[in-house]
Amino acid sequence: RRRRDESRPMKEGKEFQRLLIIKLGSIGDVVHTLPTLNALRRKFPQTHISWLVELKSRDILVGHPALDELIVFERTRSAVGTIAAFLQLIRRLRRDRYDVLLELQGNLRGGLLARLSGTPMRLGFEAGSSRVERVSTVFTNVKVSEGDASHIIERNLNFAGRLGVRDKEVSFDIAIGKRERRDISAFLKRQGLETRKIVILHPGVSWVTKKWPVEKYAELADRIKARFEDTAVVLTYGPGERPLAEAISRLSCSNPLISCPTTLGRLIALLDRCEVMVASDTGPLHLAAALGKRVVGLYGPVDPARNGPYGKGNFAVAKELTCRPCWRKQCGILSCMKGITVAEVLEKVVAVLHKKINS
């Protein structure tokens, strides 16, 4: 049997009946894969495109115009229940008979799902790709090179390139639910903020090494408020992160507003109302950028060249240290994040707001 040439894209005009994207999470990872989905839809308007995702990131994809089907994998609290759900998912994937799948998860779980799905053409990153578990590459049979692309969005787009997609347009097209939009509008109206410009500060992080000190967020909120009286500062938070927002509010003299409890869908609607967002490398930061909002990203262990906020007018603030980027989730020093000053973050926020006010 002849081995497929892994260096060339598929033949021009090749059409697939059924295509599956495997990108389970996290939020930022899903956002970074949306341009690939859109590129595939433009190339293959008649193809049935499905996306396998975990429940926590589901709302990003609900109502997406380029997607035909959303398959949600929901893990349970018990190992037995999760294994049962996994096996049921495999049966469904095999039944649906996909022609091609894109394994963009890049870990053992994604690789197993790809191999056990029974899909004949399984695209995955080649071994040695950044942030990709080598074991996952065993389960795919068409290897995708990162090439000379620096940002993860561009690296993901190489999957579309292997299927004959030529254009490199980056678009996201995240849908905002009508109910969620109404909920956020009602919340802002209750707070008297319907006409105010909003700056969102999101202090929550998934890695402790990405955390910017709460006292610096509090000072930043005060200095923004002192500089722009008609601007409201809103603190957002994810599951289990409200105490972090409350700590910042207590340290602040300007009483920044703590967001109402939000689902992911409501957070998207709230982000859509802001002028600028400040956060570390988190899913909400990338959501805001994908919605076309200006963002100021605070970067320590992560390389902003790969994971920075995508789009013109966005900023990645990082210290030039020999130890970064290290991609470590634990560190006893944290000088990369602690070294970011309030003044340099404020400078970026002011630049965005002045442009908004004067435009």
Going by C-alpha positions, the residue among 69, 72, 126, 74 that lies closest to residue 98 is: 69
The pLDDT of residue 224 is above 50: yes
Contact 159, 6 (CB under 8 A): no
Query: For residues 235 and 244, what is the distance between their CA atoms, to the nearest angstrom?
Result: 9
The three-state secondary structure class of 150 is coil
pLDDT for the residue 45: 95
Phi (first) and psi of residue 277, to 5 degrees? -125, 140
> Which secondary-structure segment (H or E) carries 279?
strand 276-280
Q: How many whole angstroms from its chain centre is CA 164? A: 25
DSSP annotation of 268 reads H
Give mean pLDDT, residues 61-81.
91
pLDDT digits (tens, 9 = 90+) for 153-189: 999 999 999 999 998 899 999 999 999 999 999 999 9
Going by C-alpha positions, the residue among 134, 153, 113 that lies closest to residue 29 is: 153
Instruction: Name the region of 33 (left: φ>0; alpha: ψ -120 to 50; beta: rest).
Output: alpha
β 121-125/48-54 pair status: unpaired
The pLDDT of residue 259 is above 80: yes
pLDDT for the residue 358: 54
Give mean pLDDT, residues 218-239.
95
Reply yes or no: is the peptide bond before residue 325 cis, omega within 30 of 0.
Answer: yes
Which range among 7-16, 266-275, 319-328 shows the weakest confidence by mean pLDDT? Answer: 7-16
The pLDDT of residue 90 is above 70: yes
CA angle 322, 331, 214 (to 5 degrees): 100
pLDDT digits (tens, 9 = 90+) for 92-114: 999 999 999 999 999 999 999 99
pLDDT for the residue 5: 45
pLDDT digits (tens, 9 = 90+) for 129-146: 988 999 999 999 999 999
